[in-house]
């Protein structure tokens, strides 16, 4: 079993890879997580990123039921034989994560990662789990480099970008904590897992992410991903 040290106790590591995209912003019929980069579907590269970090990590793929047959066909075509379990996607991301958490046994650490972020580095994954073993709730992020404006009905104003961060995944938590957080009723205010945990009054720690860890949602992102492929060892 994969382990990290937490109060002299070895903790199993899980990751929920959530892939529920419809591909609307891509302008095509194939969901974005199945589109190829360098001939390999994005989702396979994402899963490989976690196996590169730890071959024993417990992967739970959360995928809409009506996409699972297509995914299994892709696995056969690409001879993709990584071990993982699968959970049905839900009505929202909140419900998808909740379905995946049902397969997680405690005590453990559990990360939640976007299926269309294949360029997360092993170092970022490692630091997320290591920090979560001490702080219980950890989110990777990067600095904002563009100027930001806050839009109001009467106009817009510049806001200090040093006070903001761009949030990435995996967001990693003590599994007992995250399961308890997801017992709450769904709220539209829950935009990610950190927001679900914060609604219980918990503090979420930030660590530095890697800027290559983009979320692939548009055709332009695919062009960036193709350029990154040569740089990142996935």
What CA–CA distance (Å, rounded) separates 121 from 57?
Answer: 15
Structure tokens at 190: 């829950």
Does the pLDDT value for residue 8 go beyond 60? no
Position 29 scores a pLDDT of 78
Does the pLDDT value for residue 27 go beyond 90? no
- pLDDT one-digit tens code per residue, 71-130: 999 999 999 999 999 999 999 999 999 999 999 999 999 999 999 999 999 999 999 999
Q: pLDDT class for 200, splitting at 50, 70, 90? A: very high
What CA–CA distance (Å, rounded) separates 37 from 44?
Answer: 10
Position 230 scores a pLDDT of 79
- pLDDT one-digit tens code per residue, 132-171: 999 999 999 999 999 999 999 999 999 999 999 999 999 9
Contact 19, 62 (CB under 8 A): yes
Which residue segments constitute the domains of the chain, with CATH numbers given? 5-229 (3.90.550.10)
What CA–CA distance (Å, rounded) separates 14 from 113?
Answer: 11
C-alpha closest to that of 43 among 75, 13, 14? 75
Position 26 scores a pLDDT of 57
Phi and psi dihedrals of 158, rounded to 5?
Answer: -75, 140
Does the pLDDT value for residue 28 go beyond 80? no
Position 24 scores a pLDDT of 47
Q: Three-class SS string for the chain?
A: CCCCEECCEECEEEEEEECCCCCHHHCCCCCHHHCEECCEEHHHHHHHHHHHHCCCCEEEEEECHHHHHHHHHHHHHCCCCCCCEEEECCCCHHHHHHHHHCCCCCCEEEEEEECCCCCCCHHHHHHHHHHHHHHCEEEEEEECCCCEEEEECCEEEEECHHHCEEECCCEEEEHHHHHHHCCCCCCCCCCCHHHHHHCCCCCCEEEECCCCCCCCCCHHHHHHHHHHHCCCCC
C-alpha closest to that of 100 among 108, 31, 110? 110
Does the pLDDT value for residue 186 go beyond 60? yes
């Amino acid at each position: 079993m994969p382990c990290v040290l937490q109060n002299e106790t070895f903790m199993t590591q899980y990751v929920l890879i959530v892939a529920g995209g419809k591909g609307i912003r891509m302008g095509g019929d194939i969901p974005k997580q199945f589109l190829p980069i360098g001939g390999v579907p994005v989702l396979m590269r994402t899963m490989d990123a976690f196996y590169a970090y730890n071959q024993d990590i417990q992967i739970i793929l959360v995928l809409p039921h009506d996409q699972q047959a297509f995914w299994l066909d892709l696995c056969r075509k690409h001879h993709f034989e990584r071990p993982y379990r699968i959970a049905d996607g839900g009505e929202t991301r909140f419900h998808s994560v909740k379905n995946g958490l049902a397969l997680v046994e405690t005590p453990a650490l559990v990360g939640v990662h976007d299926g269309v972020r294949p360029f997360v580095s092993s170092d970022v994954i490692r630091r997320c789990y290591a920090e979560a073993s001490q702080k219980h709730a950890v989110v990777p992020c990067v600095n904002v480099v563009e100027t930001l404006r806050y839009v109001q009905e009467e106009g817009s104003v510049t806001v200090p970008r040093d006070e903001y961060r761009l949030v990435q995944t995996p967001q990693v938590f003590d599994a007992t904590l995250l399961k308890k957080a997801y017992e709450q009723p769904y709220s539209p205010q829950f935009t990610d897992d950190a927001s679900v945990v914060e609604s219980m009054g918990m503090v979420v720690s930030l660590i530095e992410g890697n800027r290559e860890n983009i979320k692939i949602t548009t055709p332009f992102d695919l062009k960036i991903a193709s350029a990154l492929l040569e740089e990142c060892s996935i």
